[in-house]
Structure 1
């Protein structure tokens, strides 16, 4: 093609020039609008931090208890969430309490959106409460004092709902997760089901080659830097450093993607971005004692699951004391709290599933495949699926027999069996698991355990040296005024301040943005320069991710080799050939209590009536399936609701289920043989009961294989043919009244 042809009007070169002009106009406008969004972000930040009680809750709230006015004051408060218009709350339903994570950010993330933990719980009809905090800690505030305050908060919620069918369901997000678990081990009588979302409980756990945040303490020489940061803050630890740690885990997002996403979608992304940044930039402070406890006892010491944390009154924190069902929600995509850190505490506390049952514990976990750390409790999609199912089926979970389960979710569609028994848009199943399923996700080797034990010892030595030789000098030099100045100069705060309206240059940006909004000319989607822009962005992300991967691989190599040194371990008193184990044996007191309980249950196998017989039969047949489906439990719940005899409370019903479950574990043949003795001789009543049992079981699908064989055996025990008493002849819930 000749040059003359290329330059003809409408030729390829002319089209390219037009595309370039179009792109340059759009890029220039986007740049100004992006800077104006940064200005709005800075102004929003200044307004937010100026508030006495800043938060990002999207719901109106009523203050119930101000923790600052307690005998032992804390900067926490209990509020009641006021349901929005159109949301009906049943005050007799189990209340939900969301405890916000104090991990450097401000409060409100549990109710950050309409589709949130609070939102889905209220939609399911539950009263909701929120435990949040203020930016500044109270003098003398400690983790233990906060736990005592939160116990008072939960007691207050219980007193406000005396007719509620069950103790409150408490949700602990991220750092609030371990705080809730500590309190639940000390005051188990206060809790209904506990939902732990993205919470690190086994801090040393992980796998090689992924998410090396667990190595940070060892690579920094331990917690002496935490003490130094607190001393430079005049007794306060700046939460912005914790936020900085989060940002360092994903440099491509921190340095590029988050801002580029706003720039590239400047016409539509501003509100969502500013909403999130209001929370992300709401940094809060912690007392030195609080953060030192967190780092020494939890992150570096890993003492929580090992039962080595002791309160001031001598009471030890033992997670095995928790009696409420524990729901653990984690994700493969979480680079802050990977599944191993969320779940391996189970391996530290129990030898096998039988030991979980011996403690009367029910543990349910679910592992998302991709959502990141914040998405676990921020994502609307997660809220509408996992959190909504947990909220709608919380009573199902509360009556599960003791053991270990994985919650799985299947979308409800037109072909779903008994879809009328499915409350939400998903069918939730709790499938029985063993500790080997947890181990299969990856766990530490004995060599890794020795490495982390060595890092813990080095931390203790360095912290002692810092406190003796350096800390006294730092405390003499740093005044509260100097500490405040240093906090204001933190890089994360400066990035907000620099682009706020306090910067006189931003006034020009504001006026230019207002003018551009009237003359906005977005680039066409098929513009080749826009495609080039997108490609360049991907290259930048790839480069930053590669840099992150390289530095993470280097940090892991350094940690493993340094703390894996036999010489260093021997010098620290760690046998380089030992197999360290944090798992504890069952105490003599608990074993004696368990033996007494076993003897009592054995003596009562022949006691009871139709209700005991029905539950025992259902547990015997259902255990062959290895899972519990929400449809079967909903069918059973309706039987319980419509039962004409004396009504059991949820707690009494739960106790009945557990007793019958343990009787089957202790003496299955004896428990089955006793079933006919629990029923009247009337064959019609037995036939009716058998029909109800079968209808509950068939709610989630056909009864086949071993469950069918067991159903037939129950029919034989009752003297009823397996084909009798079907729902085709008699409505199952009418049958239940007769039983």
Structure 2
């Protein structure tokens, strides 16, 4: 075997032939090559682990560690606010050759604080911040420091985020558009709380992978929702905080995430580095710098989160009240909300990301009545971190959301699902400006329920967990907490944090361990003489097969663990005796508050409808044009982004100086009016156009044609609706004969011009729109005594039904 491995002999004349004679099947050579490669990969792998440990220690010793890939400057330090917090508002400085347009809407990313350090939203060039910077938006980042301020609460953090947004708005007086705010994971529910309390400082809101409804979930998935029940409630959180002397170590949260996928944590992630150690080192170390940057949370903060959100599910049911008496009701959010989630996310699956909609509203008409626009997008495969870290996701979904934020901001109230398709998939691809097209589809609650999969019988189980949690927490605070408060010291708490298994793993493999001294020397020698094995080596193939078997075994163990946990949870908390013991057994008891079904909310809906009924016939040509657009397109101002861009451009021509906020109000109000009473809304179009000239009406119809042509040909049904709108507009044309002059009263030539549309033609148009509330022939303008041929305007040309 040594002879076969000797490179000098193999390179001499006849060396290959001699090697082949001694090892005709190549097993020995394959074994030696694999053995050498595996030894080299082992040395390089452990040297990467040493670098990871050094990187961790260096990162944790920084005063303000983060993993942002962009240069920043601090604008507001949260520690200087009236209620100090460890949060900061940063201005993101654009890279070279990147131009920022100060007239564009500001873009703010709020980072999640769930155990890891800040910066994940701007981790890569192809990130949420990177996409917005490329689009020319002024960008800001709300991050945090490793340790909380004394006495810091969740409400303090929410108030700090509102103060930061007000500061951003003050920095851009030249634009009337409010900032678009992106909240990743835990930051999602924080900004939703802030938007419910102070809706006037928010533009469109994008929440990515943010859990808002913690009781929701599909059986067989989302194992984290059972954690509170299996530990007996939030007393464990209180004990962990007391062991930390009032501080909660975020490493415990990271450990919970790692336990979800043991195959990836204990094998797949590490083996991928070992298998590709020549190319994966940089990517691995970049990710580990964030994954291992553990931060600390205040005890009061984490207890509030666990009691009110994880276990109590009080955010999505409007049960949270601030210390100054304000109710945190997500129905108060006035900005459009985009919910981005993934079916491949086991931390925040779609039911938990979307369930709050089902909790707060009884139907899509409630969303409309509250003048809210909710849009959701579901990725098929990406995991939790991939939602806001993956470069492919940022280049596609986040790029489209950023490019269309103005369009999203004027979407009428309702529930929509958005899909993103490649431009090449459309026959009119030349009309699409970018590589992808963002399209919106109205959804109802029956369709939403297929994703939320709400089960009322589970509500009683989780309500039982909440009661048990309150009981156990009370017992802990009565009997155990005083002893821990008396014995724990700051020094002991710091020592316990340093000894956490996850933290300790980083420190043991660093230069502070004398056993790692030979590693850099050995790794340098290997890199200079590296001879990787061929991929077709049989022993390398066996290694890959063994790795796959280990992954499959760990996955099987995880599935068995999760299914057993779910079955135990369902059996224990589904026991009628336990439910009766905590006062939750019986159909008459309300286990889950449903704000949308409460009497005061139904009265609000009724009052809102009565208020809008009085506005149906009020307004002018602005209302008439927008009402027509929404009607023809079937309930939305555009089927996709192209219609909106044409609509906004032509709006600037017809209505110069009208701010976007007024345009947004107009869209939403006219949509609501059509939803409330379509027949009366259409019948009042001639009233809204009263007093307009023929030229004005022709201009409005031309405007509508441009809008509808932006996304290709209208469908046959939409074309019929457009014909009906034309007939209603023509009905509003002036039809009054001017009084003759005294000296020429009997002269036919002195008659006033005849209107462009006759009763006969109006009846023809109405007949083409059968089934709609078009004006009948008897309602058309009367035929004058004498009629002159009139020039055909755009309002008189009848559109032939076209197929999409």
TM-score scaled by length of structure 1? 0.94
Residue 735 of structure 1 corresponds to none
Indicate which of 646, 652, 656 corresponds to 2:662: 652
Q: Residue deviations 1:262-320, cap 9 Å, x none?
A: 11000100000000000000000011100000100000011111111111111111111
CA distance in 1, matches of 2:497, 2:300: 18
Q: Residue deviations 1:650-706, cap 9 Å, x none?
A: 111101111211222233222222323434554344333223312322322321232
Name the SS for the 2:226 alignment partner: helix
Residue 13 of structure 2 corresponds to none
CA distance in 2, matches of 1:619, 1:388: 26
Change in 2 beyond 3 A, CA 1:380/1:286? same
Alignment of 1:88-237 (within 5 A): 88-237=99-248
Q: What is the CA distance between 1:361 and its match in structure 2? A: 0.6
Q: What is the CA distance between 1:609 and its match in structure 2? A: 3.4
Name the SS for the 2:451 alignment partner: coil
Alignment of 1:217-366 (within 5 A): 217-366=228-377
Indicate which of 462, 472, 483 corresponds to 1:462: 472
Alignment of 1:203-602 (within 5 A): 203-413=214-424, 415-417=426-428, 419-420=430-431, 422-577=432-587, 580-585=591-596, 597-602=608-613
Which one has the largest radius of gyration?
2
CA distance in 1, matches of 2:598, 2:334: 16
Change in 2 beyond 3 A, CA 1:676/1:9? same
Listed as ranges, the gaps of 5+ residues in structure 1 are 1-5, 730-739
CA distance in 1, matches of 2:381, 2:425: 27
Q: Residue deviations 1:424-473, cap 9 Å, x none?
A: 32110111001112211243422211111111111111100000000000
Change in 2 beyond 3 A, CA 1:350/1:414? closer
Indicate which of 59, 62, 81 corresponds to 1:70: 81
Residue 734 of structure 1 corresponds to none
Q: What is the CA distance between 1:588 and its match in structure 2? A: 6.7
Q: Residue deviations 1:590-648, cap 9 Å, x none?
A: 6666555544543333343333222111001112689721111122122124x154321
Deviates more, 1:709-718 or 1:685-694: 685-694
Q: Does the CA-based 8 Å contact 2:596-2:602 persist in structure 1?
A: no
CA distance in 1, matches of 2:281, 2:266: 18
Residue 96 of structure 2 corresponds to 85
Residue 732 of structure 1 corresponds to none
Name the SS for the 2:533 alignment partner: coil
Q: Does the CA-based 8 Å contact 2:412-2:636 persist in structure 1?
A: no
Change in 2 beyond 3 A, CA 1:697/1:483? same
Higher relative contact order (CA 8 A, sep 6+): 1
Residue 27 of structure 2 corresponds to 16
Change in 2 beyond 3 A, CA 1:556/1:604? closer
CA distance in 2, matches of 1:566, 1:593: 37
Deviates more, 1:579-588 or 1:529-538: 579-588
Alignment of 1:601-620 (within 5 A): 601-620=612-631
Deviates more, 1:620-629 or 1:481-490: 620-629
Q: Does the CA-based 8 Å contact 2:627-2:674 persist in structure 1?
A: yes
Change in 2 beyond 3 A, CA 1:24/1:689? same
Listed as ranges, the gaps of 5+ residues in structure 2 are 1-16, 731-756, 769-791, 798-804
Residue 693 of structure 1 corresponds to 704
Change in 2 beyond 3 A, CA 1:241/1:632? same
Q: CA RMSD in A?
A: 2.2
Q: What is the CA distance between 1:137 and its match in structure 2? A: 0.5
Name the SS for the 1:9 alignment partner: helix
Deviates more, 1:662-671 or 1:369-378: 662-671
Deviates more, 1:13-22 or 1:71-80: 13-22
Q: Residue deviations 1:73-124, cap 9 Å, x none?
A: 1100001101111222111211111111000000000000001111111222
Deviates more, 1:111-120 or 1:592-601: 592-601
CA distance in 2, matches of 1:174, 1:333: 15
Is the aligned partner of 1:35 residue 2:49?
Answer: no
Change in 2 beyond 3 A, CA 1:587/1:544? closer
Q: Residue deviations 1:151-189, cap 9 Å, x none?
A: 111110011111224111111110001111111111111
Name the SS for the 1:344 alignment partner: helix
CA distance in 2, matches of 1:8, 1:166: 76
